[in-house]
């Protein structure tokens, strides 16, 4: 079994159905759980076909299996439930991926969310469990009384000593986590009934409810936390802005954030002062109005004084007044015709003199940054277009190794050949995706085990990598399958005569375990094939790594590099306005910079996002654009053997065999992840990380 990406290496007794616990206490066999033979195609194709239930990679070849019991564990083909682990830092797969998937399952509350849903969130307790069953399971039958046989736990929790007389037994029960959860549920239910009785059914009504202090601390804390979550999201500022010459003065000074002066008074009191001073009639009062005349809105002088002496009040008052001063600066500059950084650069000295020194320095610094970005955003990469377009081909084939006279086979050996193979892989339709089809092979026409593409000047991926990589990459059937799916999308779109029905090719998300080649191999192979796609139909190909974009113009056969999300979007809009169509390969990259939902032009442009299984890297883009997924699997053992043959092609056969033997042993420990098995030092580091994760 592969111990891929920090997976548990668990020895299992396959013929037993009884409950089995691993030595680490993190794996259990379900009683009576059926074992299912691995079926890679169905496991990963279900995800391909748009099934939203997350499937997590496990075992050989990163076969994906559905989660069992929500996000709390997953079912391996052996019937073992694997509990979530800490994962390996920086790795987007396995436990780390599970955390990403679980993160999306955390309820996203809105102001209309019900009080009951929030208070009872995540409660899966069986309140219909009988008291005697509870005692048998937790106290070994102590305290069991025949007359209590039909007493439900939810009844017992109301008056425990009416059913269990011995104080010793009660003390044990009260200290059980399961009982404490039932007790907590009782408290929350009582709070729910109380709030409903007083007309508080939604979070919005809770925000303006003046009787918060009469609600139990537990319930009040949960409701306030949900409200704070919403308000924080609403008021969260944008990430650090990247300025260009057309950035407005307002955006420079406020950096795109939401104005605090537009925040509502009651929201501020809830978030910063635990609801002190909240009055229902102030639900629409903004902070900018409140600070003009506080006593008008909080008439209780004692309560107002308590609020005004807090640090939170002082900070907010200062922030509101600073914003109002900046708005006055913006108004004056707009009145003088200065709307953006370009206007600021051309403004007369007397106009700039009306601005405070601190504000003036901020605008000057932003202008300098915009000028610096302008000088590098049109950087041309000479010779890269031709190097990628004319990349050279090699391929690796399997040859039987044995004595023909004795008809004894010893397996296969790999042979490297120049050029593109005459026969490639074939595929068949499987739902809404494609899968490899070995059934159509013709005699003597076997496809290669591996193909290799080499660009003398490298690829955008190698140029963007911090330490650089080789100028060649491997193409196995999984990498080629990704291109076949994208090509089919383009063919279907261009054959659609009424383009108003589908204004752009189907958007895609390519997901794969880090280190298997989805960025270097699949991304670069898509670039190569798209450059060879009919220029009459597709004129531009863009390969992005976060905010760095390599723009390949097929009409001029040039490559330019642009930095910054806004700059890149403006460049793409320029192509679109000139009637050019294109395709974008957007690699989320190590920094985890998800794509903007409006990054691609609205019509005539296709886009695929390349990401690890870390859901937050792509979920918003996927949801907004209704993108379809492609799941890329790990290479299999023979793929890795072919990779070794290419890398050691200049060595003697016995040296090649020795290297392959070393790599094969490494695969047994960390799985068939190319990034971690070809170099001994990298392998040792990875193995240590796996061991740490397993012991965590």
- Which of 199-208, 422-431, 448-457 is the least confident region? 199-208
Does the pLDDT value for residue 115 go beyond 50? Answer: yes
Does the pLDDT value for residue 261 go beyond 70? Answer: no
- Give the mean pLDDT of 447-461: 93
Nearest 5°: the CA angle 681, 683, 685 is 75
pLDDT range class, residue 245, cuts 50, 70, 90: low
Structure confidence at residue 173 (pLDDT)? 78
Does the pLDDT value for residue 426 go beyond 80? Answer: yes
* Both tokens assigned to 539: 């004129």
Structure confidence at residue 44 (pLDDT)? 38
Does the pLDDT value for residue 543 go beyond 80? Answer: yes
- Give the mean pLDDT of 184-195: 85
User: Residue 369 is inside which H or E element, if any?
Assistant: helix 357-377
Does the pLDDT value for residue 322 go beyond 50? Answer: yes
Select the more confidently predicted residue: 36 or 499: 499
Identify whether the C-beta of residue 523 lies closer than 8 Å to the C-beta of residue 636: no
Does the pLDDT value for residue 617 go beyond 60? Answer: yes
Structure confidence at residue 511 (pLDDT)? 94
Structure confidence at residue 240 (pLDDT)? 52
Tell me the percentage of the chain whose pLDDT exceeds 70: 74
Q: How many residues does the chain have?
A: 696
Structure confidence at residue 585 (pLDDT)? 96
- Paired residues of 451 in beta bridges: 395, 475
User: Residue 28 is inside which H or E element, if any?
Assistant: strand 27-29
pLDDT range class, residue 350, cuts 50, 70, 90: confident
Structure confidence at residue 410 (pLDDT)? 57
What three-state secondary structure class fits 304? helix
pLDDT range class, residue 28, cuts 50, 70, 90: very low
Question: How many other CB atoms are found less than 10 A from the CB of residue 138?
Answer: 16
Highest mean pLDDT among 103-112, 253-262, 264-273, 415-424: 415-424
Does the pLDDT value for residue 135 go beyond 80? Answer: no
Structure confidence at residue 635 (pLDDT)? 92
pLDDT range class, residue 47, cuts 50, 70, 90: very low
pLDDT range class, residue 48, cuts 50, 70, 90: very low
Structure confidence at residue 445 (pLDDT)? 67
- Give the mean pLDDT of 248-269: 72
- Which of 374-378, 422-426, 675-679, 687-691 is the least confident region? 374-378
Structure confidence at residue 247 (pLDDT)? 80
pLDDT range class, residue 411, cuts 50, 70, 90: low
Global pTM value? 0.51
**Residues of 154-189 as b/e, b for ≥16 C-beta within 10 angstroms?**
bebbeeeeebbeeeeebebbeeeeebeebeebebbb
| CB contact set of 73 (below 8 Å; sequence gap of 6+) | 67, 81, 82, 83, 84
- Give the mean pLDDT of 3-29: 34
Structure confidence at residue 415 (pLDDT)? 92
Select the more confidently predicted residue: 606 or 98: 606
Structure confidence at residue 441 (pLDDT)? 56
Calculate the CA dihedral of residues 632, 638, 639, 645 and round it to 10 degrees: 170
Please, is 487 exposed, middle or buried when counting C-beta atoms within 10 Å of its C-beta (0-12, 13-18, 19+)? middle
Structure confidence at residue 98 (pLDDT)? 39
- Give the mean pLDDT of 146-162: 75
Select the more confidently predicted residue: 502 or 351: 351
- The domain segmentation of the chain, as residue ranges, is 4-87, 115-232, 249-377, 477-626, 653-695
Does the pLDDT value for residue 474 go beyond 70? Answer: yes
Highest mean pLDDT among 126-140, 491-505, 638-652: 638-652
Residue 528 sits at φ, ψ, to 5 deg, of -60, -50
630-678 pLDDT, tens digit per residue, is 999 999 999 999 999 999 998 999 999 999 999 999 999 998 999 889 8
- Give the mean pLDDT of 127-134: 72
202-216 pLDDT, tens digit per residue, is 887 887 777 887 888
- Give the mean pLDDT of 187-206: 85
Q: Residue 207 — left, alpha, or beta (φ > 0 → left; ψ -120 to 50 → alpha)?
A: alpha
Identify whether the C-beta of residue 513 lies closer than 8 Å to the C-beta of residue 5: yes
Tell me the percentage of the chain whose pLDDT exceeds 90: 24
Nearest 5°: the CA angle 387, 393, 397 is 160
Average confidence score pLDDT of the chain: 75
Structure confidence at residue 29 (pLDDT)? 35
- Find the helix packing angle between 177-197 and 217-235, rounded to 10°: 70
Structure confidence at residue 539 (pLDDT)? 94
Does the pLDDT value for residue 8 go beyond 60? Answer: no
Structure confidence at residue 318 (pLDDT)? 82
Structure confidence at residue 467 (pLDDT)? 54
Structure confidence at residue 124 (pLDDT)? 52
Residue 481 sits at φ, ψ, to 5 deg, of -60, -35
- Give the mean pLDDT of 550-567: 88
Structure confidence at residue 320 (pLDDT)? 81
- Find the helix packing angle between 177-197 and 167-174, rounded to 10°: 80
Structure confidence at residue 342 (pLDDT)? 76
* Both tokens assigned to 380: 């041309």
Does the pLDDT value for residue 235 go beyond 50? Answer: no
CA neighbor of 677 nearest in space, from 615, 635, 628, 649: 635
Does the pLDDT value for residue 626 go beyond 80? Answer: yes
- CATH class of this structure's domain 477-626: alpha beta
Separation of alpha carbons 42 and 38, rounded Å: 9
Does the pLDDT value for residue 388 go beyond 70? Answer: yes
87-104 pLDDT, tens digit per residue, is 444 444 443 343 444 444
Query: Measuring CA to CA, how many Å separate 613 from each of 49, 454, 508?
Result: 16, 28, 14
Select the more confidently predicted residue: 446 or 490: 490
Identify whether the C-beta of residue 454 lies closer than 8 Å to the C-beta of residue 475: no
């Amino acid at each position: 079994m592969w111990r891929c990406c920090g997976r548990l290496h668990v020895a299992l007794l396959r013929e037993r159905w009884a409950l089995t616990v691993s030595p680490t206490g993190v794996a259990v066999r379900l009683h009576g759980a059926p074992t299912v033979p691995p079926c890679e195609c169905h496991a990963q194709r279900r995800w391909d076909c748009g099934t939203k239930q997350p499937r997590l990679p496990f075992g050989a070849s990163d076969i994906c299996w559905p989660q069992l019991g929500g996000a709390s564990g997953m079912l391996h083909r052996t019937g073992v439930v694997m509990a979530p682990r800490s994962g390996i830092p920086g790795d987007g797969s396995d436990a780390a991926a599970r955390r990403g998937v679980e993160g999306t399952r955390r309820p996203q509350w809105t102001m209309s969310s019900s009080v009951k849903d929030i208070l009872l969130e995540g409660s899966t307790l069986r309140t219909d469990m009988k008291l005697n069953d509870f005692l048998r399971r937790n106290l070994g039958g102590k305290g069991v009384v025949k007359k209590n046989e039909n007493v439900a736990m939810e009844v017992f929790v109301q008056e425990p000593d009416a059913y269990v007389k011995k104080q010793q037994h009660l003390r044990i029960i009260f200290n059980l986590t399961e009982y404490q959860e039932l007790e907590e549920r009782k408290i929350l239910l009582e709070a729910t009934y109380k709030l409903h009785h007083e007309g508080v059914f939604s979070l919005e009504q809770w925000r303006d409810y003046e009787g918060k202090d009469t609600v139990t601390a537990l319930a009040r804390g949960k409701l306030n936390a949900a409200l704070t979550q919403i308000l924080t999201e609403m008021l969260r500022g944008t990430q650090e802005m990247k300025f260009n010459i057309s950035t407005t003065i307002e955006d420079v000074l406020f950096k795109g954030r939401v104005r605090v002066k537009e925040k509502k008074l009651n929201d501020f009191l809830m978030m910063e002062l635990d609801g002190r001073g909240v009055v229902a009639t102030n639900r629409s009062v903004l902070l900018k109005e409140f600070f003009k005349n506080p006593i008008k809105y909080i008439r209780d002088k004692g309560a107002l004084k308590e609020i005004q002496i807090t640090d939170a009040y002082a900070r907010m008052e200062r922030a509101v007044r600073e914003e109002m001063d900046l708005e006055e600066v913006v108004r004056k500059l707009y009145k003088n015709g200065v709307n953006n950084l370009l206007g600021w650069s051309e403004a007369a000295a007397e106009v700039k003199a009306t601005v405070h020194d601190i504000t003036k320095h901020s605008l000057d610094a932003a202008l300098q940054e915009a000028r610096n970005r302008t000088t590098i955003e049109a950087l041309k990469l000479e010779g890269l277009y031709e190097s990628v377009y004319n990349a050279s081909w090699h391929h690796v084939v399997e040859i039987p190794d044995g004595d023909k006279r004795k008809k004894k086979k010893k397996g296969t050996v790999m042979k490297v050949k120049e050029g593109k193979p005459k026969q490639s892989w074939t595929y068949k339709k499987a739902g809404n995706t494609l899968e490899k089809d070995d059934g159509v092979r013709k005699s003597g026409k076997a496809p290669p085990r591996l193909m290799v593409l080499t660009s003398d000047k490298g690829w955008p991926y190698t140029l963007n990598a911090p330490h650089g990589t080789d100028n060649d990459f491997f193409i196995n059937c999984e990498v080629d399958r990704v291109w076949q799916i994208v090509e089919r999308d383009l063919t279907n779109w261009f054959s659609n005569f009424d383009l108003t029905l589908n204004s752009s090719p189907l958007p895609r998300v390519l997901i794969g375990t880090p280190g298997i080649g989805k960025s270097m191999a699949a991304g670069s192979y898509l670039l190569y094939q798209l450059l060879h796609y009919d220029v009459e139909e597709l004129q531009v190909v863009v390969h992005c790594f976060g905010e760095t974009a390599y723009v390949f113009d097929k009409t001029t056969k040039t490559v330019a590099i642009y930095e910054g999300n806004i700059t890149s979007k403006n460049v793409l809009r320029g192509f679109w306005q000139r009637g050019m169509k294109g395709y974008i390969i957007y690699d989320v990259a190590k920094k985890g910079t998800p794509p903007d939902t409006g990054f691609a032009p609205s019509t005539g442009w296709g886009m695929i996002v390349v990401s690890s299984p870390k859901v937050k890297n792509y979920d918003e883009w996927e949801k907004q654009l209704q993108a379809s997924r492609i799941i890329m699997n790990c290479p299999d053992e023979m793929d890795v053997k072919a990779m070794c043959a290419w890398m050691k092609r200049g060595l003697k056969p016995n040296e090649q065999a020795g290297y392959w033997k070393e790599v094969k042993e490494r695969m047994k420990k960390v799985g068939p992840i190319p990034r971690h098995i070809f170099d001994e030092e990298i392998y040792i580091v990875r193995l240590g990380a796996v061991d740490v994760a397993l012991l965590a």
